[in-house]
């Protein structure tokens, strides 16, 4: 029968040589016999040696009984010294532990067993309640930043359905980081991270973290199905399928509060584009004490077989700590820990520097500059190339890992500056799965500008004039778009459309339909209403503006006049030139218009600059 090679245990100490207990000389020809521990001298139990090449090893049963070499070493049938491997489970059921009983004899002159040298029972020792795959646990915690470093502080969650409350894993995730989630608004929910500074909050069974998370509902909303804190565990659901694990949670019901329980779930997110998402799987309901208590929960991650994943490559596993639904509660918890083992440590600790290296690693959409022309793995150059799916015709990168950046650019950058081939469709995923290409914002020869905060405005019908708190940031040609809450923008202008500003005074401006028209000060003046509700003007993220050379317009010239000095001047009959008189009534010279100078060639307005390669994080 085929065994699970992952469960074999090597015993390299037995690759040394065995000696006679009386003489101390090598136990030449000695006999080793291996039995089932609880069937001693009745049922043999196999042991194994490794053969083959790296990546293609095989494990073959050793002789049992086995005769030692002339120098007391364990050898395979070909006479090669080997390391023995032991299988401490039933060969036909890896979930049932089964130990060895081992005897070692010297031999007489006929090669028959003579003197018993030693025995080993219950070998190799493994705790009876350990499950397969947990024999040599790493005891590494897979919930990153479970001490809430760089947390949000506090959050009024009444109108919130999805919010990042502390950073965690994020690379490749659609819903990475530690998040608060609920399916409907209305409940009076408040979330706050408190410091565990009081001795009453010390965790006796672990190293005490700096923060704990308090969640309180003081006003209920009926019909709730989800209200939880979600922790990312693994990108891709099949990575940990059927793996045994232990979740450790420190939690407390605030004294006097009803509904003193939380439900712990595993959530298999099937990724963007999945036809449906499965319900979270309940692991266990924990009834909380009024004192801080450690709650270990042993479980097995669910199987992924038969689940239809989306095409975004962002399927993932999450742990959810769910609060009582449509109910009042006041609950604290902190330091959730996940180990791929039935065991867990009582001293888990990561320094903030260790946490910082993960939570502040580059995120999708981050920009990186370098003198190195080699594109870093996980980045794409901002050189006017495009990205898309593996079967697209993108010129920069064609791969499923472009989906997070494709999605981000599609949503936050106007099609003017990051165009989608064939135009934007119904949503980012529809375009990605249709193999459309998205062109990256062009960075070559451009300076990076900090994005100013948008401003509210009022509008006067028929004038094209917008009044803002200050127009200082709205330089000529700045790309903006209009937003509204509680009403509509002025009729004649459109949402999700890029306009370009024409400053007038310190608090007024107009809009043009293109950068060139804004520079020429050709404004849009629709005959329309003034708009209703709260209107705002925001800068276009990812927008590109500016010129390497500019031909001044007349309105841009410094306002000035020329003075004529000396003599008496009299306009001639045509009024186009002047006659100069040396004395009254006596003309001397007639001056025509001066000769034309210059060629209207744009002058260089490029700021002092340096060229770098620029990359975007996938």
Cα–Cα nearest to 224, from 356, 324, 316, 291: 324
Residue 11 pLDDT greater than 80, yes or no? no
In a domain, 169, yes or no: yes
Contact 119/101 with Cβ under 8 angstroms? yes
Total domains present in the chain: 3
% of the chain with per-residue pLDDT over 70: 90
Q: Which contiguous run of DSSP H or E holds residue 135?
A: none
3-state SS string for 340-379: CCCCCCCCCCCCHHHHHHHHCCCCCCCEEEECCCCCCCCE
| pLDDT band, very low/low/confident/very high, at 13 (cuts 50, 70, 90) | low
Q: Which CATH number belongs to the domain containing residue 159 in this structure?
A: 2.60.120.260
| pLDDT band, very low/low/confident/very high, at 450 (cuts 50, 70, 90) | confident
| pLDDT band, very low/low/confident/very high, at 557 (cuts 50, 70, 90) | confident
Beta bridge partners of 120: 102
In a domain, 185, yes or no: yes
Contact 67/29 with Cβ under 8 angstroms? yes
Residue 131 pLDDT greater than 50, yes or no? no
Round to whole Å and give the CA distance between 521 and 510: 9
Round to whole Å and give the CA distance between 614 and 544: 15
The answer to whether the pTM exceeds 0.85 is: no
Average pLDDT over residues 212-234: 97
274 with 218, same domain?
Answer: yes
| pLDDT band, very low/low/confident/very high, at 126 (cuts 50, 70, 90) | low
73 with 174, same domain?
Answer: no
66 with 165, same domain?
Answer: no
Round to whole Å and give the CA distance between 465 and 467: 7
Cα–Cα nearest to 336, from 453, 233, 183, 439: 233
Could you read off the pLDDT of 225-281 as tens digits, one per residue?
999 999 999 999 999 999 999 999 999 999 989 899 999 999 999 999 999 999 999
Which residue is it, tokens 């085929």?
Answer: 2
In a domain, 174, yes or no: yes
In a domain, 414, yes or no: no
166 with 297, same domain?
Answer: yes
- DSSP H helical segments within 381-483, as ranges? 403-412, 428-433
State the pairing for strand pair 397-398/386-388. Answer: parallel
In a domain, 91, yes or no: yes
27 with 168, same domain?
Answer: no
101 with 197, same domain?
Answer: no
106 with 159, same domain?
Answer: no
The whole domain housing 504 covers 455-540
The pLDDT, as a whole number, for residue 232 is 97
| pLDDT band, very low/low/confident/very high, at 134 (cuts 50, 70, 90) | very low
Reported in sequence order, the residue ranges of 435-585 that DSSP labels E, i.e. its strands, are 438-439, 455-456, 458-460, 465-467, 479-485, 499-503, 508-512, 534-539, 549-550, 568-571, 578-583
190 with 310, same domain?
Answer: yes
Q: Which CATH number belongs to the domain containing residue 9 in this structure?
A: 2.170.14.10
In a domain, 553, yes or no: no
State the pairing for strand pair 549-550/603-604. Answer: antiparallel
The pLDDT, as a whole number, for residue 580 is 53
Round to whole Å and give the CA distance between 32 and 52: 25
Q: Which of 123, 138, 166 is the last residue of a domain?
A: 123
Cα–Cα nearest to 135, from 120, 148, 125: 125
192 with 319, same domain?
Answer: yes
Produce one character per residue of 543-555: b if its CB has 16 or more CB atoms within 10 Å, e if not: bebeeeeeeeeee
110 with 166, same domain?
Answer: no
- Name the CA radius of gyration of the chain, rounded: 38
Round to whole Å and give the CA distance between 180 and 213: 11
Contact 264/319 with Cβ under 8 angstroms? yes
Residue 78 pLDDT greater than 80, yes or no? yes
3-state secondary structure of 334: strand
160 with 290, same domain?
Answer: yes
CB-based burial label for 99 (10 Å; 0-12, 13-18, 19+): buried
In a domain, 173, yes or no: yes
Q: Which of 359, 390, 415 is the last residue of a domain?
A: 359
Cα–Cα nearest to 380, from 139, 102, 110, 615: 615
Mean predicted lDDT score pLDDT of the chain: 87
The pLDDT, as a whole number, for residue 287 is 95
Round to whole Å and give the CA distance between 74 and 82: 6
The pLDDT, as a whole number, for residue 133 is 46
In a domain, 89, yes or no: yes
13 with 75, same domain?
Answer: yes
Cα–Cα nearest to 410, from 394, 401, 421: 421
Q: Which of 489, 520, 540 is the last residue of a domain?
A: 540
3-state secondary structure of 39: helix
């Amino acid at each position: 029968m085929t065994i699970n090679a992952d469960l074999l245990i090597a015993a390299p100490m037995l690759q040394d040589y065995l000696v006679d207990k009386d003489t101390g000389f090598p136990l030449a020809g000695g006999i080793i016999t291996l039995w089932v521990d609880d069937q001693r001298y009745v049922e043999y139990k196999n042991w194994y040696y490794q053969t083959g090449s790296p990546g293609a090893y095989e494990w073959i049963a050793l002789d049992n009984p086995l005769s030692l070499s002339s120098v007391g070493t364990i050898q395979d049938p070909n006479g090669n010294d080997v390391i023995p491997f032991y299988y401490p489970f039933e060969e036909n059921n890896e979930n049932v532990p089964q130990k060895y009983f081992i005897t070692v004899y010297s031999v007489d002159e006929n090669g028959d067993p003579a003197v018993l040298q030693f025995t080993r029972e219950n070998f190799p020792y493994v705790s009876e309640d350990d499950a397969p795959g947990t024999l040599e646990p790493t005891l590494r915690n897979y919930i990153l930043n479970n001490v809430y470093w760089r947390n949000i502080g506090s959050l009024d969650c009444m109108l919130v359905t999805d919010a990042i409350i502390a950073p965690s894993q994020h690379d490749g995730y659609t819903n990475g980081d530690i998040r608060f989630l609920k399916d409907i608004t209305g409940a009076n929910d408040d979330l706050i991270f408190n410091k565990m500074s009081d001795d009453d909050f010390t965790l006796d069974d672990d190293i005490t973290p700096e923060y704990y998370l308090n969640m309180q509902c003081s006003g209920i909303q009926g019909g709730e199905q989800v209200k939880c804190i979600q922790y990312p565990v693994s990108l891709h659901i099949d990575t940990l399928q059927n793996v045994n694990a232990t979740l450790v949670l420190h939690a407390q019901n605030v004294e006097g509060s009803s509904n003193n329980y939380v439900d712990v779930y595993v959530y298999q997110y099937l990724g963007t584009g999945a036809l449906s998402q499965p319900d979270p799987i309940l692991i266990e309901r924990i009834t909380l004490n009024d004192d801080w208590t450690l709650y270990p929960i042993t479980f097995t991650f669910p199987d992924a077989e038969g689940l239809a994943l989306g095409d975004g490559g962002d399927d993932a596993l999450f742990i959810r700590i769910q609060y009582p639904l449509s109910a009042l509660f006041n609950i604290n918890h902190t330091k959730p820990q996940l180990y791929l083992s039935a065991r867990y440590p009582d001293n888990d600790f990561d320094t903030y520097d260790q946490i910082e290296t993960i939570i502040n690693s580059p995120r999708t959409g981050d920009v990186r500059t370098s003198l190195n022309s080699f594109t870093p793995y996980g980045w794409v150059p901002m050189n006017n190339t495009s990205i898309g799916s593996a079967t697209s015709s993108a010129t920069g990168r064609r791969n499923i890992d472009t989906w997070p950046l494709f999605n981000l650019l599609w949503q936050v950058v106007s099609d003017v500056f990051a165009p989608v081939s064939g135009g934007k469709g119904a949503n980012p995923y529809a375009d990605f799965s249709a193999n459309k290409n998205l062109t990256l914002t062009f960075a070559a020869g451009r300076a990076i500008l900090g994005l100013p905060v948008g401003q509210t405005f009022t509008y006067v019908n028929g004038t094209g004039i917008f009044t803002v708190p200050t127009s200082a940031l709205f330089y000529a040609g700045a790309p903006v778009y209009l937003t509204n809450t509680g009403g509509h923008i002025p009729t004649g202008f459109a949402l999700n459309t890029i306009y370009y500003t024409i400053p007038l005074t310190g608090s007024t401006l107009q809009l043009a339909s293109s950068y060139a028209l804004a520079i020429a000060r050709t404004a849009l003046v629709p005959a329309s209403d003034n708009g209703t509700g709260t209107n705002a003007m925001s800068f276009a993220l990812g927008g590109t503006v500016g010129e390497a050379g500019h031909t001044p317009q007349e309105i841009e010239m410094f306002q000035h006049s020329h003075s004529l000095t000396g003599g008496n001047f009299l306009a001639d009959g045509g009024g186009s030139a002047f006659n100069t008189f040396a004395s009254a009534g006596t003309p001397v010279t007639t001056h025509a218009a001066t000769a034309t100078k210059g060629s209207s060639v744009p002058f260089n307005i490029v700021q002092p600059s340096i060229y770098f390669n620029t990359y975007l994080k996938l």
